[in-house]
Amino acid sequence: MTFNETGLKPEILKAITEMGFENPTPIQEQTIPHLINSTQDLVALAQTGTGKTAAFGLPLLHNISMQTRDIQGLILCPTRELCLQITRDLENYSKYMTGLKTIAVYGGADITKQIRELKSGGQIVVGTPGRVNDLIRRKVLNVSAIRWMVLDEADEMLTMGFKDELDTILATTPSEKQTLLFSATMPSEIAEMSSKYLNNPSELSVGRRNEGAANVEHHYYVVHAKDKYATLKRIADNYPDCYAIVFCRTRMETREVADQFMADGYNADALHGDLSQSQRDTVMARFRGKQLQMLIATDVAARGLDVNDLSHVINYSMPDDPEVYIHRSGRTGRAGKSGISVSILHMKETGRLKQIERIARKKFERKMVPGGDEICEKQMFHLIDRVVNVDIAENQIGKFMPLILDKFEAMSKEDIVKHFVSLEFNQLMEYYKNARDLNIKVEAQRDPSQRNDRGGERMKFTKLFINVGKKQNLSASGLIGLINEYSKRHKIEIGRIDIQRKFSFFEIDSAYEKELIKSLNSQVIEGHLINIGRVESNSPEAQREGGSGSSFRRDKFDSGSRNSRREGGRREGGYNDRGDRQARRRN
């Protein structure tokens, strides 16, 4: 099938032909004819990088009326970057549609400018839920007559804690509109949203639900926790042309890894929540322009980034949620290209790997951390290939050749090669001289009887409770971020996590129990008074909460809930963002 066979308007076909569009991707091939010819709601499941923007954007432009400047289409997406990317794409697709205007609205930018644009009129609004909700509340953005509603990266919007905003926005839109929901995964919350807001939707899918991309290889290394950074360096050295995002768990870890990585001479930079918008834009411009080889980032900071041609995604720290891993790995292997998703694991994370394998329906291949000789050989041949394939500026070099040949006259060809290689690699070879083996050998592992059911070495854990749960949009990763922030550490071992509606249970290394309780108890975060404490043993509540022989005091949770207050207009993120931005403390 070609785009000419989809039935799109000639002016749209002209624009996308100039952009190099030839044949639709699978999701576009299924979606475009459906949306051109039908008003039925749609749920479309496809991985990141499969062409979802064109899948909904092209038919939306085809159907839009140019006779009015009223808002006809509303597109919601999770981040500023994705909002701007969608807007740019729609502007390119509509290049020859005179009078068509797309307006981008998002947080972190001057709202007065966006208000002026809305008042001047346009047919399509692309926005983040927080800013769209704010503009609707100010009665500046009127969506009561829209004909199309698009929820792009819907699973990410829910992960980032936008459920309340989405509910509010959807409630203000007309019931007779066509709603299009695009998602990479299909968690229960997406199914619930589809049932609540979509009317008998058709469902299209590229690949199976929650499945990893087909053209991505999944590799993992098993090392001691103290050797993770050394392993990252060896991976970077072993793939000289690597163009990658390295995912860390928290802002603190991101800063530490990035600072050390850059100090060691690697072409990298960091992306995390402490950066201003201008700093973030600068880093991303350098990375997109391939002036940076590796970007060290947190999940939240990297959401919505649209970067093509990534060769690798490197999981410096594994995510707690398997669906987050699927999103990470989907950033490479895009547009039909191949990619590699690499995970650096310590022993306690191998159990989590099996869970991800099962959900993503992908087999992970264990790789051995390369040794010094292997890396030096790889680097040398990479240099040789560059020398062989370099373009020679004959006019500039030719006039110097007699002098150059005179300098080399006393040296054989072999000596010349040795000198060039030594000049380039003496330091690298010295660094990797007698490099130790970082791999954990099977025979060096402890006897299985000495390991716990999470696959890690036996450790004493303490079970704690905290009066925050799903109602406050707390996720497992958000709880880990909260622990890291208030303990001022990022390597505390954390065991089982159980997120309930109004409270949660979690296990931590007993050595840090008192420190965490002291620093976090009675803090006010997001307007919520925190109560945290050790779960007491042998009570009926403990048995009811999982049979671990521990209990909690119900009155402590209730007091925390009574003292909580909701602020007007929840910010983007919430507790779910805790692993990536500082808690706001209000006294």
The answer, yes or no, to whether residue 348 has pLDDT greater than 80, is no
The answer, yes or no, to whether residue 541 has pLDDT greater than 50, is no
Q: What is the pLDDT of residue 394?
A: 74
Dihedral sign computed on CA atoms, order 166, 172, 175, 176: negative
Comparing 346 with 232, the larger pLDDT belongs to: 232
The answer, yes or no, to whether residue 562 has pLDDT greater than 70, is no
214-229 mean pLDDT:
88
pLDDT class of 221 with cuts at 50, 70, 90: very high
Residue 431's closest CA among 374, 380, 372?
372
Q: What is the pLDDT of residue 428?
A: 79
Q: How far apart are CA 493 and CA 555, in angstroms?
A: 29
Q: What is the pLDDT of residue 214?
A: 65
Q: How far apart are CA 449 and CA 461, in angstroms?
A: 18
Is residue 260 a contact partner of residue 309, using CB atoms and an 8 Å limit? no
Q: What is the pLDDT of residue 106?
A: 92
* 304 CB-near residues (< 8 Å, 6+ apart): 77, 78, 79, 80, 81, 82, 83, 85, 153, 156
The answer, yes or no, to whether residue 446 has pLDDT greater than 70, is no
The answer, yes or no, to whether residue 581 has pLDDT greater than 80, is no
Comparing 501 with 576, the larger pLDDT belongs to: 501
Q: What is the pLDDT of residue 119?
A: 92
Fold of domain 3-205 = Rossmann fold (3.40.50)
Three-state secondary structure call for residue 151: strand
276-301 mean pLDDT:
85
Under CATH, which architecture does the 459-577 domain have?
2-Layer Sandwich (3.30)
Q: How far apart are CA 214 and CA 249, in angstroms?
A: 25
* Structural tokens at position 346: 């310590």
Q: What is the pLDDT of residue 236?
A: 92
Q: What is the pLDDT of residue 454?
A: 42
Domains 3-205 and 216-371 equal at CATH topology level? yes
Alpha-carbon torsion, ordered 158, 161, 166, 169, to 10 deg? -160
pLDDT tens digits, one per residue of 39-67: 999 998 876 667 888 999 999 999 999 88
Under CATH, which architecture does the 216-371 domain have?
3-Layer(aba) Sandwich (3.40)
Helix, strand and coil percent figures for the chain, each rounded to 5: 45, 15, 40
Is residue 552 a contact partner of residue 545, using CB atoms and an 8 Å limit? yes
Residue holding tokens 């949009």?
A: 473
Residue 114's closest CA among 97, 98, 96, 126?
126
- Residue 394: phi and psi, rounded to 5, are -55, -40
Is residue 181 a contact partner of residue 193, using CB atoms and an 8 Å limit? yes
Q: Which residues share a beta bridge with 506?
A: 464, 497
Residue 353's closest CA among 330, 333, 331, 325?
325
Q: How far apart are CA 424 and CA 355, in angstroms?
A: 44
Residue 231's closest CA among 241, 217, 218, 246?
246
pLDDT tens digits, one per residue of 236-283: 999 988 999 999 988 888 989 999 999 988 999 998 877 877 888 888
- Residue 148: phi and psi, rounded to 5, are -135, 135
Residue 127's closest CA among 145, 151, 144?
151
* Structural tokens at position 280: 């973030």
Mean pLDDT computed over every residue of the chain: 80
Dihedral sign computed on CA atoms, order 336, 337, 338, 343: negative
Three-state secondary structure call for residue 97: coil
pLDDT class of 566 with cuts at 50, 70, 90: very low
Q: Where are the domains of the chain?
A: 3-205, 216-371, 373-431, 459-577
* Structural tokens at position 381: 């041949």
The answer, yes or no, to whether residue 389 has pLDDT greater than 60, is yes
Q: What is the pLDDT of residue 141?
A: 95
Comparing 586 with 50, the larger pLDDT belongs to: 50
pLDDT class of 24 with cuts at 50, 70, 90: confident
pLDDT tens digits, one per residue of 69-105: 889 999 999 888 889 889 999 999 999 999 899 999 9
Lowest-confidence region among 169-178, 207-216, 260-269: 207-216
Three-state secondary structure call for residue 126: strand
Rg (CA), the chain: 27
The answer, yes or no, to whether residue 538 has pLDDT greater than 50, is no
489-514 mean pLDDT:
81
Q: What is the pLDDT of residue 66?
A: 86
